[in-house]
């Protein structure tokens, strides 16, 4: 039902705010959280302060924090003053942390209990928490204020009231509060668990990151990476008007146009060779296109490696070398195929040799630039996925055309 409501709001751009206001107050926050970030920002901008404060009556503090991060700081400070005392304190606490760190992903829905307590003591603490928040918390066991482990909730059903909890403690992974989100994802993948505990600099407990929050972030990250690869603005939505789409895309297309002219300039240097052997024009797009595809494959692997911190100053040289070697091997395989086709189809062993060698060289170039460009962008403090395909395809087009036509010039003696 919530998905249907979110879809209706998503599809009706002109009626988006009125449709949202027609929702029952207790559903608004959950529907809003299910919408894309750009639409969340749009609705938060158009809702009045009273409506935004009302959202907090039905959401967890971490969810309210996520929504408040969609609005300017000045308005955010005014809204914080209007929140209820309990939720205000928690939201202010969460807003202190960078949203792209472990602390920015955490929830405060947990309780702490000392390891020497009984299940009767635990039941009292849970009832108190549930009465205050309406939620069943994660149970974290501590000793002298430090995390010992987690108490699985099912133990409440199999234990005796006067029994101590210490023999039921289970291990749970933990991270420091300032670990970046990619580090958290990497830990989650290596140690599958339904939660990760966030610790402060003094190793006291700050909060809990639940698996559904991590999965939600991974989904958003995947969508953002797809936008970055295509050179599309984060603000653009699939249902936006043609004008908005043009506004968000034209700059990158102009950059692409400039690089295309550069490739065309390289081709113009060999116009005499092409005029003498028109058949070369048939194979030029094949060499350039294969290089572009190979470079994009390498880029995808590199961006993932950088995100998961698998690529760093120690591993970079090895990674680049491996991609160059892989490019060379793939070049030989594809070069032999296209050379064979050229020999059989055009009855020209020389043409087959030219295009085969050009394919090998261009796929080596694709492996090199596909690996180096994202590393370079990362070093410059830029998003390594942001429209890097434009620069990689430019490199493979320019070098691909140059190598192919230069080889033809040498071998045909023009």
* pLDDT score, position 346: 83
> Please, which pLDDT band fits residue 365 given cuts at 50, 70 and 90?
very high
* pLDDT score, position 315: 85
* pLDDT score, position 337: 93
Q: What is the mean pLDDT of residues 267-291?
A: 84
* pLDDT score, position 238: 55
Both structure tokens of 17 = 């705010």
Buried/exposed code over 122-150 (b: 16+ C-beta within 10 A; e: otherwise) = beeebeebeeeeeeebbbbbeeeeebbbb
* pLDDT score, position 327: 92
Whether residue 360 is predicted with pLDDT greater than 90 in this model: the reply is: yes
SS3 content of the chain, % helix, strand, coil (to 5): 65, 10, 25
Name residue 142's beta-bridge partners: 114, 147
Give the CATH superfamily of 241-412. Answer: SLC41 divalent cation transporters, integral membrane domain (1.10.357.20)
> Please, which pLDDT band fits residue 8 given cuts at 50, 70 and 90?
confident
Q: Would you say the C-alpha torsion 333, 338, 344, 350 has a positive or negative sign?
A: negative
Buried/exposed code over 193-202 (b: 16+ C-beta within 10 A; e: otherwise) = eebbbbbeee
C-alpha–C-alpha distance, residues 59 and 189, integer Å? 28
Whether residue 336 is predicted with pLDDT greater than 90 in this model: the reply is: yes
Lowest average pLDDT, out of 1-10, 244-253, 340-349, 395-404, goes to: 1-10
> Please, which pLDDT band fits residue 384 given cuts at 50, 70 and 90?
low
Where in the chain are all domains bearing CATH 1.25.60.10? Answer: 2-96
Fold of 2-96: MgtE N-terminal fold (1.25.60)
* pLDDT score, position 230: 47
Whether residue 347 is predicted with pLDDT greater than 90 in this model: the reply is: no
Side-chain half-sphere CA neighbours of 59 within 13 A = 26
For residue 176, report the phi and psi dihedrals to the nearest 5 degrees. Answer: -75, 150
C-alpha–C-alpha distance, residues 201 and 206, integer Å? 10
Mean of the per-residue pLDDT values of the chain: 82
Alpha-carbon torsion, ordered 354, 359, 362, 368, to 10 deg:
-140
* Residue position matching structure tokens 């639409």: 39
Q: What is the mean pLDDT of residues 30-44?
A: 83
- Percent of the chain scoring above 70 in pLDDT: 87
Q: What is the C-alpha radius of gyration for the chain, rounded to an integer number of angstroms?
A: 29
Lowest average pLDDT, out of 64-73, 302-311, 388-397, goes to: 302-311
Where in the chain are all domains bearing CATH 3.10.580.10? Answer: 105-228
Most distant CA pair in the chain, distance = 95
Whether residue 193 is predicted with pLDDT greater than 70 in this model: the reply is: no
Say if CB 385 and CB 374 are below 8 A apart: yes
Say if CB 378 and CB 305 are below 8 A apart: no
Whether residue 76 is predicted with pLDDT greater than 70 in this model: the reply is: yes
* Residue position matching structure tokens 């043409």: 351
Say if CB 123 and CB 116 are below 8 A apart: no
Q: What is the mean pLDDT of residues 98-121?
A: 87
C-alpha–C-alpha distance, residues 206 and 203, integer Å? 9
Find, among 305, 300, 298, the residue nearest to 330 by Cα: 298
**SS3 (DSSP) at 385:** coil
For residue 174, report the phi and psi dihedrals to the nearest 5 degrees. Answer: -140, 155
C-alpha–C-alpha distance, residues 354 and 335, integer Å? 9
pLDDT in tens, 204-233: 899 898 887 777 666 655 545 544 544 444
Where in the chain are all domains bearing CATH 1.10.357.20? Answer: 241-412
Whether residue 180 is predicted with pLDDT greater than 60 in this model: the reply is: yes
Q: Does domain 105-228 have CATH number 3.40.50.1820?
A: no
């Amino acid at each position: 039902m919530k998905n249907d409501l979110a879809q209706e709001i998503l599809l009706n751009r002109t009626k988006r705010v009125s449709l949202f206001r027609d929702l029952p107050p207790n559903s608004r926050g959950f529907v809003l959280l299910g919408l894309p970030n750009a639409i969340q920002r749009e609705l938060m901008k158009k809702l009045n302060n009273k409506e935004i404060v009302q959202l907090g009556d039905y959401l967890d503090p971490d969810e309210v924090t996520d929504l408040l991060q969609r609005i300017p700081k000045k308005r955010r400070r005014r809204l914080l003053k209007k929140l209820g005392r309990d939720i205000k304190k928690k939201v202010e606490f969460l807003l202190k942390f960078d949203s792209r760190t472990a602390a920015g992903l955490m929830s405060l829905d947990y309780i702490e209990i000392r390891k020497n307590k009984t299940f009767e003591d635990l039941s009292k603490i849970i009832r108190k928490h549930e009465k205050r928040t309406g939620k069943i918390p994660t149970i974290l066991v501590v000793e002298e204020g430090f995390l010992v482990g987690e108490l699985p909730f099912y133990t409440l059903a199999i234990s005796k009231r006067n029994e101590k909890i210490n023999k039921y403690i289970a291990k749970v992974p933990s991270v420091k509060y300032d670990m970046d989100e990619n580090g958290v994802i990497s830990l989650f993948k290596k140690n599958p668990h339904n939660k990760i505990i966030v610790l402060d600099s003094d190793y006291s407990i700050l909060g809990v990151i639940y698996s559904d929050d991590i999965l939600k972030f991974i989904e958003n990250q995947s969508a953002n990476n797809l936008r970055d690869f295509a050179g599309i603005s984060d603000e653009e939505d699939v249902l936006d008007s043609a004008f908005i789409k043009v506004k968000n895309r034209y700059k990158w297309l102009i950059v692409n146009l400039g690089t295309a002219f550069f490739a065309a300039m390289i081709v113009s240097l060999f116009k005499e060779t092409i005029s003498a052997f028109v058949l070369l024009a048939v194979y030029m797009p094949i060499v350039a296109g294969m290089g572009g595809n190979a470079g994009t494959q390498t880029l995808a692997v590199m961006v993932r490696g950088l995100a998961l911190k698998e690529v760093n100053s120690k591993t970079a040289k090895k990674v680049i070398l491996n991609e160059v070697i892989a490019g060379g091997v793939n070049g030989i395989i594809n070069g032999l195929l296209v050379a064979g086709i050229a020999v059989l189809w055009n009855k020209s062993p020389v043409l087959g040799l030219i295009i085969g060698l050009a394919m090998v060289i261009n796929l080596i170039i694709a492996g090199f630039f596909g690996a180096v460009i994202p590393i370079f962008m990362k070093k410059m403090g830029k998003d390594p996925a942001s429209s890097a395909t434009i620069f990689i395809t430019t490199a493979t087009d320019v070098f691909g055309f140059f190598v192919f036509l230069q080889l033809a010039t040498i071998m045909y003696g023009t």
